[in-house]
Structure formats: structure tokens, C-alpha cells
Amino acid sequence: MKTFSAFKLAGAAVLKFTSATVLAALSALATLSFAALASAQAPSPVAKMNAYVGCINRISARAFDSRARYFSWAAKSGLTGRERIIYGLYTISDTSDCKKNVEKANAMEPHDAALETAASAYADAAGKLEPLLKEADDYYSAENYKDDKMAKGKALHPRLVAAWDAFAAADKTLRAEVEAINDKRALEKLAAIEQSEGKKARYYVEALMINAKRVLRAQDTEKPDLAAFTQAIADCEEAIKGAEQASAAGPKIGSIFMSNAKSYRVTAKQLMRRLRDHVPYSTGDKMLLNSGCGAWMVEGSPPRLFHDYNQLVDAYNRGANI
């Protein structure tokens, strides 16, 4: 899958992380002691994690889309001034909030040195990338390359490559730290639901999300293991069937969530068959894949799988309407 390495990063950059929803019973608030109230209002591990996830979900997608946009017309080796088409690139939103949120989160309990270091590195890399992208966007938007024979574009190129590489490395490290914690919490949550409720609707929604992530990871490697990818899809399909049966028995699972789960399954199978049968991409598909932001429209492709996974996560985060 080396051909799609840039798109895997772009997809991974927009890949959203699910976080637990904390519900507090406030009916007896008046009877709480001061100490108990202070404890109830203390920042939770979820709030700490949400700060990091918020940075990733708000910044990474746009940063990687910008890189894909740039390299859709610019050669990796550098610019010549003879480029036929010049699209420029995209800017990213203000990163100062991310830095502030990371600093606040790093001060929260429980402390995790590796996680906090990764978050600080991410915020720093994003903060350095932001003004550079704006500088480059101003240059290309004003078409100043027509006046200086691409002199500034040539000078900006190695700086852009270095900044994107640093950001990609920071994103990968922070994402790994966050996902390791979220994976552990997801399994603990699943076990707690099974113990308290049995294998009903909520259980299968959580199982489905765990298996959906396994599918994504199984193909998101330099050379996917087809057998592992196929098995992950089969396990995800079993979770979908379980969710359908549990929903029929009640409580009912939202139709939007189930529709997104099925769409994700279809895309996963399309990609699996493409890999299994060595089906090449058409000329039109390749054009879309090289467009960066339009890559998700190619059926049976890694960018489409990332897109459909994120749609599923959005539906899950809205509560799956259980």
C-alpha cells in the first residue's frame, strides 16, 4: 500500500477518537457535602483526553489535506518554476487554542509523561506549521510566483516539507498514545456493560466500534496482511448482525448509526476484494486519489474507508440513538 502512504496519513489525520460520556446524577446535589461536591467537579481523565483528541480532530485533517493539495502539483524533489498547474495549498485554523488546551490538560491528573510529552510536541509542531502555511498560501494566492520566477516557492519548499514531516511524526506519536488509552477503556467499558446488562444493544454498539477500529488498523500498514484484514471484517460483520438482532429485541439502535456501520462494512469489503484480486485503480480513480480532498470518493480505497469510519464515529458520538 505504499502508493497510498500520503492518503493514509491524511485519512488518519481526520480519524476521530471516541471518548466516554460522563453522566452525573445531580438530583441529590443539595445534600452533597462540600468535599463531595469538589470531588464531583474535579477534572476527569476524560476531560484530559478530550483536550488532546480535540486538537487532533480540529487540526490534523486540514494539515494533511494541505500537504496532499500541495504535492498534487509540486514534485517532492522541489519546484522548478516550470510547473504547468499550480494549485497552492490550504491553511489551518488558529492553533493557539490547541496549545492552551494541551497546557491545561497536561496539568490535570492522572499524569502520564509519555502522553503529555507527545501532546506538547504536537501543539508545538502545529504552531510552527500554521504561520508557514499562511505565508505560502499568501504567496500562491497572489500568484507572486509569476513575478519572481518561483524564487520564493523554491525557498519555501524545503521548509514546508520539514514542517509537514515534523507535524506528521508528532501526530503519529500522540495518536498512538491516545489510542492505547482509549483501547483499554473501550474494552473495560464493554466488559462492564456485559456484566451489568448482558449482550444487548449497548454491548453490541461498543463491540461494533471496537471491531470497526480493528478493520481500519488491519489495512493501515505499508503492506496489509490480507488474512488479518479479512478476519477483522468478518468480526465486524458479526458485531453488526448482533447489533441488528439486539435492536430488534430492544432497546432500538438508531437507523443512522446502523446505516453508517453497514456502509463502512461495504467499503471494507470492496477494499479487501481489491487487494485480494489485485484490482487496479482506473485513470479517473487515480486522478481523484491524487486530488487529496476528493480521494474519499473512490470506492474500495483506503481514503474511502477512513471517511466511512469517521462517519460511523460521528454517529456513535451522537449517542447511536439507543
Cis peptide before 45 (omega within 30 of 0): no
Q: pLDDT by residue (tens digit) across 138-185?
A: 999 999 999 999 999 999 999 999 999 999 999 999 999 999 998 999
H/E stretch holding 118 reads helix 113-141
* 7 has a pLDDT exceeding 90: no
Q: How far apart are CA 220 and CA 1, in angstroms?
A: 8
The whole-angstrom separation of Cα 125 and Cα 108 is: 22
Write out the three cell numbers for 179.
Answer: 489510542
In the chain, the percentage of residues whose pLDDT exceeds 70 is: 85
pLDDT of residue 205: 96
The residue among 6 and 262 whose pLDDT is bigger is 262
Q: Kindly state the average pLDDT of the residues 29-35.
A: 28
Say if CB 102 and CB 123 are below 8 A apart. yes
Q: What are the Cα distances from residue 262, in Å, to 155, 232, 234, 257? A: 47, 15, 13, 9
Q: For residues 199-216, give the mean pLDDT.
A: 95
